[in-house]
Copies of this chain bind each other. A is one copy, B any other.
Amino acid sequence: MSQLRRDPITGRWIIVNYEKVVEPEEFSFERAVKSNNTKKCPFCPGNEHMTPPEIVAHRNIGAPNTPGWTIRVVPNKYPALEIKGDLNKQGIGVFDRMNGIGAHEVIVDIPHHMRDVADISDEQAEEIIWSYISRNTDLRKDKRFKYILIFRNYGKSAGASLEHPHSQLIALPIVPKRVNEELNSSLEYYNYKDRCVFCDILVQELSDKERIVEENDFFISFCPFVSRFPYEMWIMPKRHESHFTSLQKEEVKPLGTILRNSMKKLKKLLNNPPYNYIIHTSPINGFEKEYYHWHIEIMPKLVNVAGFEWGSGFYVNPIPPEVAARNLMK
């Protein structure tokens, strides 16, 4: 019989299949292949002229917009939102609209076309985290922005339009719906129990030990009890903190390492699956919230979201997270 599980954070339910557990090799997903066509790749070293001029780069050698960088941040050439202009909020009858103001940046965080987070050094992984922190810190000075979202799409079916590995940052003029939902339901839990729901989950995961994939002094990586997707993993700081940029200096490298190690396990087990990861953090004005706890959600794209999920917000997961964690640990 399948099991229904309820997420204490959002109230979302999932259906976990226990009858017939799908083996890793049974998933038929669109693999994240790469063509090694680096000549035409705008994110490869030597092709810096193919992107808009860089906003910032980590480099030991070379002039801006030339090779020698380890991380390069550029404006998105086809931005979902534009940095210049006013919001111009308007009502149109029953509807509301505003101009698409925001920032949309690409963080080219791995120079090598054929590699991904799974394949990099501890140092490069640490640099990636530093780049996320510094872009976040820079953009939150702009008073028009209310939320900064950092995410990574890997593989075409996970929405990556370019093969070269990269992360993206979008600064938004409003706090998005999903974030508000997470904040509101965490607050409800806090009001009821006087505790952070994420801290409670952390304690339980550390005691159950069934779903932990990786652990170090500062972070755990685990397949959540209420995983929507097969092989979903979350990375959560052990220290309660609501905003991602409140990371302390000594936490940056361990975060990079646990992220790299988790991605390595995923890549090995499932043979290079497409995925998204997303940093869930409180809004720009949301520092020191006692009820919210930043974390990273890693969502491999192994199954298609269908009508049932769209209509209900339920997710059917063919792999119990306990089995997923065990397989990832092999």
* A152 partner, pick from B2, B16, B201, B307, beta carbons under 8 A: B307
- The answer to whether A6 touches B310, judged by C-beta atoms less than 8 angstroms apart, is no
A8 in the interface, Cβ–Cβ < 8 Å? yes
Most chain B CB inside 10 Å of its own CB: which residue of A5, A94, A151, A178: A94
Instruction: Identify the closest chain B residue to A18 (Cβ).
Output: B100
Complex Cα distance, B179 from A208, in Å, reads: 33
- CB of A35 within 8 Å of the partner chain: no
Binds B, one of A65-73, A77-85, A123-131, A264-272: A77-85
Contacting pair B307 A158 (CB below 8 A): yes
Docked complex: A284-330 residues within 8 A CB-CB of B: 297, 299, 303-314, 316
As for how many copies of this chain the complex holds, the number is 2
* Interface: A53 (CB within 8 A): no
Does A33 sit within 8 A of B, measured CB to CB? Answer: no
Contact with B along A147-171 (1 / 0, CB 8 A): 1010111001111100000001010
Report the bound CA distance from A172 to B299 in whole Å: 25
Q: A62 contacts which chain B residues (CB < 8 A)?
A: none
Q: Which of A136-144, A241-249, A273-281 contacts B (4 or more CB under 8 A)?
A: A273-281
Question: In the complex, what distance in Å separates the CA atom of A226 from the CA atom of B177?
Answer: 14
**In the complex, which residues of chain B have a beta carbon less than 8 angstroms from the beta carbon of A153?**
306-307
Pick the contact of A312 from B10, B82, B178, B303 — CB < 8 Å? B178
B172 near A314 with CB under 8 A, answer yes
Give Cα A230 to B90, complex, Å. 23
Please give me the residue from chain B that is nearest to A274 by CB atom: B304
Q: Is A204 an interface residue (CB 8 A)?
A: yes
Residues of B contacting A280 in the complex (Cβ-Cβ under 8 angstroms):
311
Given contacts A168-B308, A312-B176, A312-B179, is CB(A2)–CB(B156) below 8 Å?
Answer: no
User: Could you tell me if A8 and B307 are in contact, using CB atoms closer than 8 angstroms?
Assistant: no
Determine if A310 and B2 form an interchain contact, defined as CB atoms under 8 angstroms apart: no
Residues of B within 8 A of A226 (CB): 95
- Residues from chain B with Cβ under 8 Å of A99 in the complex: 1-4
B177 and A11 contacting across the interface, CB-CB below 8 Å: yes
Q: Does A15 interact with chain B (Cβ within 8 Å)?
A: yes
25 contacts between A and B (CB under 8 A): A1-B82, A2-B99, A3-B98, A4-B97, A4-B173, A5-B95, A8-B96, A15-B80, A149-B311, A151-B306, A153-B306, A157-B304, A158-B304, A159-B303, A159-B306, A159-B307, A159-B308, A159-B309, A172-B314, A178-B310, A178-B311, A179-B313, A276-B310, A278-B307, A279-B311
Q: Chain A residues in contact with chain B, CB under 8 A?
A: 1-6, 8, 10-13, 15-17, 20, 78, 80-82, 85, 92-100, 147, 149, 151-153, 156-160, 168, 170, 172-174, 176-179, 181, 197, 200-201, 204, 208, 225-226, 276-280, 297, 299, 303-314, 316
14 more contacts with CB within 8 A, not counting A94-B204, A157-B304, are A2-B82, A3-B98, A4-B173, A12-B177, A92-B225, A93-B200, A93-B204, A94-B201, A168-B307, A176-B311, A176-B313, A176-B314, A177-B314, A278-B307
